[in-house]
Structure 1
């Protein structure tokens, strides 16, 4: 009984002691200073010693040595090395003489990624994974990464390997060397008695160590080269010999089923069964897409994917061009029979440019000549994402299709793509049909050809060609202008000191400067009939009131919108013409802007010097009240001003924010608006929904982190993109993590006289200080 009482008393005392330790552990450590985080660590002064606090708040170190791809850290504490994971777990305790990071990050293939640490203690090496599990204790003379799945270890001068994930020894250390193989994925090249072989990661032998070397042939890993007794052969990926080692050199190509083999400095071709397809007759052979460019001396030919010579080696140069008009370079993708390629740069040649002493000609993919004519030069040429071939002869240029057919004769100085020193071509308003029309030049003048027919529709005698819409082109030479239709027919011609603007596909505004100093402006149809004429019409193609017009349309010249064309310079500012030339006057208003989607900006003079604005529709009905002192564009929305206050509406007149704000500004490249009232700020979205109420001293948005930093009554806080306060605005100062990608946490904050750290949940780290680290600390 006494024994039982004594045991209960001991348990009670132990429990009280544990509680005391737990409570004591929750008390923050008072530091000499705390510094802001810069990435993974923040500088702190504890017990007069400068240390570094990990981003987790759980680990202090004296010095950082290395930070890896996955934010695994090698650090020093109490003069010993250790390692910390990105989560703040000590994965290698601080007791080692050395810790080395072994990690890899492949942005294209995550299966090649790995991360672990190598430890050294008393001259022996071991390893641990990022969870802190010991892969192998420090028992080996060397440890290093071998593949993404295994590490290699050395003992007694011999190498073996261990599974990184489980720590299982997959191969005892018995080999002279063990290295990653580059001829076969997830394979280890082993060396024994001076000979090399191949082993799987699990230790199974694929090829015994009987060979001098292995050679990389192609990325598909179907075949690999090998050498023995100084001769080269080919194996399949299981180690079976496909081509015996009787050649000086072996290369795969032009497909995976064919091989270029070299003997006595001559190259021939054999298939995967060793059957000779072409004898040893070539000086060299190089892959060009899915064919081989071969040479005899300094002359070139082509061997196709079937191992047939389709172009004999008698040319000075051969260039392969694919169906996209791109040159297919040496070392292109090797394809097996039946394999299709969807790569942007297809390796399959569509044509060959073959050059000899007489010039350059064209063959198809089988080597058959496509052109009887020989040109001084043939160059791939892309127009509106369509491939063509530009041909040159005697200083002149023509155009061929990819099938070799003549599109344009060799008669031009060149093709125009935008601007030249003496000419300009503008096709922004041409619509989809612009891909069919190519500007051509002769000297300092340009014309236009229809490349679907090869017909020259505009002769090469103009300085300026501009599509005004999909049917009408403006032509200009000096001070003389003309209009042509899409067939090239001149519909308005050679008018000096006069200008034409197509305001629709069948309506033209003509401006003529008369000898008596007057100007006559008229609206005509295609036939030249005058539909409206006025000497007071001050027409300019770029004169418009386009407040409601979308941004994509604003670059176009003035035109009929919603069947109306505004007349500027009239005695009345609200006169429009319909397509028949009939005036449509909005008498109720002092000003009406251009229409779009049936709506226009409208104004009424409240006094001779003051106009109020709103939005009306085509029927003269008010859509948004004519009460605004001004209406300004902000992206696809409108800011309305009434006195000193602002509101927000859509271009259709829908109210998003009432006119009760001192200012409304968009937060650049975000869906948010910053609004203010009585020197306080808030945030809304583009639909006018309140994200943050108008009660903050300042707000800034961190786009990458999708967080708002706010101050309210001098206190700092953080809100997320939905407006939720994730860190309440209660702190006197706040410093974000300034070097950790998109993560601004942990924060260094001040509340009252104390500085401390908080994480993204607002939880405080167990450190505080009366001082923030200064520049001299």
Structure 2
């Protein structure tokens, strides 16, 4: 019984902003006139490790066909043309495994043999692109409230329908496992607290934070999260271990998701910056940044800057400032040019650095790859 307190508690918040530019908001997309399924917050495309694609490349093809009928409805047939299920609308094949469709105005999911994975009784089903291992289901009420729950790929409940907000947060390709953000008190005036739930229904992080922002989902590395509580932010891992302690006027984001070892950008902000703005990117709040640090996964500072650490437009290099002088660092945290320049100008494909009143092209100071 010791695990009961970590299983199926009360949930998470459906953050109203996309978690970062690579992630998709909760919505229905139109493509070529066909309505495709709603996507649950993040898009793992471009982030999934090679090991994931190696594992799925030999998956068998979908053993069925979607056939358009004269009345605009669709049928799912087997490869011999026998009807498996009919009277479908807006049907869509997911990853050669499932069909997500409407039937009698409600959404559901079946496999190629017609086995029902998610019953046709939901107003919306959210999925994660390129993965489709779990389904976030939604049912609206006449009062305008929406209940959400999670059903796994086998048709079992991960989290039953409740007045919570749910978002897909992370896919662990090594363990073929999903994680979700769940926020409680979502349909009330109370401020909900958010936790991180895995697809077995166990809390990796109990609902205890006002904000949880996954920083490196789907990358094949342990998940790290920026969390906010009582106007303070911190960096934790998916086991709720604190990497960067809670502090006011602090913003944290990943610095180099596609490079190992993983580094984080910690920015010190001017007074009054609310933790509710934690999910914005540092490039959007440059005027609020007083100083910055590059931090490793152990919480140790790799490099400190007296100004925002800014990425050059067309280069994998970043400017930093120490003792009034600018230098350059790469995405591994290695110093490329020591801080000895009075200023710089980034003209996209050409970068100029100023020293003693003279301008030097970046290409004359370092070898380009």
TM-score when normalising by structure 1: 0.29
Note the alpha carbon deviations across 1:528-570, whole angstroms, 9 max, x for none: xxxxxxxxxxxxxxxxxxxxxxxxxxxxxxxxxxxxxxxxxxx
User: Contact 1:253–1:287 (CA<8 Å) still a contact in 2?
Assistant: yes
Matches within 5 A, 1:166-185: 168-173=82-87, 178-181=89-92
Selected match of 1:282 from 206, 209, 214: 209
Q: Deviations over 1:61-91 (max 9, x none)?
A: xxxxxxxxxxxxxxxxxxxxxxxxxxxxxxx
| Structure 2 counterpart of 1:270, from 188, 192, 197 | 197
Pair 1:442-2:363 in alignment? no
Alignment of 1:185-334 (within 5 A): 186-192=98-104, 195-227=106-138, 230-246=146-162, 248-256=164-172, 257=177, 258-264=179-185, 265-290=192-217, 291-296=224-229, 299-306=232-239, 308-314=241-247, 315-322=249-256
Alignment of 1:240-639 (within 5 A): 240-246=156-162, 248-256=164-172, 257=177, 258-264=179-185, 265-290=192-217, 291-296=224-229, 299-306=232-239, 308-314=241-247, 315-322=249-256, 346=258, 350-356=262-268, 357=270, 358-371=290-303, 373-380=304-311, 387-393=316-322, 395-400=324-329, 404=333, 408-414=337-343, 441-445=354-358
Q: Per the alignment, do residues 166 and 275 of structure 1 end up closer, same or farther by CA in structure 2, a change over 3 Å counting?
A: closer
Are the counterparts in 2 of residues 254 and 307 from structure 1 also a CA contact under 8 Å?
Answer: no
SS at match of 1:254: strand
5+ residue gaps, structure 2, are 1-32, 35-63, 141-145, 186-191, 218-223, 271-289
Q: Distance in 2 between matches of 1:355 and 1:395?
A: 18
The answer for unaligned runs of 5 or more in structure 1 is: 1-101, 104-147, 323-327, 329-345, 419-424, 426-437, 450-464, 471-777
Q: Is the 8 A contact 2:77 2:85 kept in 1?
A: no
> What is the number of residues matched between the two proteins?
262
In 1, the alpha carbon distance for the partners of 2:365 and 2:100 equals: 65
Distance (Å, rounded) in 1 between the aligned partners of 2:118 and 2:365: 70
Pairwise CA distance, 1:237: 1.8
Partner Cα separation in structure 1 for residue 213 and residue 365 of structure 2: 47
Give, in whole Å, the separation in 2 of the partners of 1:203 and 1:182: 13
Q: For 2:89 and 2:309, locate their aligned partners in 1 and report how far apart those are by CA, in whole Å.
A: 52
Q: Which has a greater percent of strand?
A: 1
TM-score normalised by structure 2 residue count: 0.55
For residue 287 of structure 1, report the CA deviation from its aligned partner: 3.6
Query: Within 2, Cα distance between the matches of 1:288 and 1:318?
Result: 9
Higher relative contact order, structure no. (Cα contacts within 8 Å, ≥ 6 residues apart): 2
Compute the displacement of 1:351 (Å).
1.7
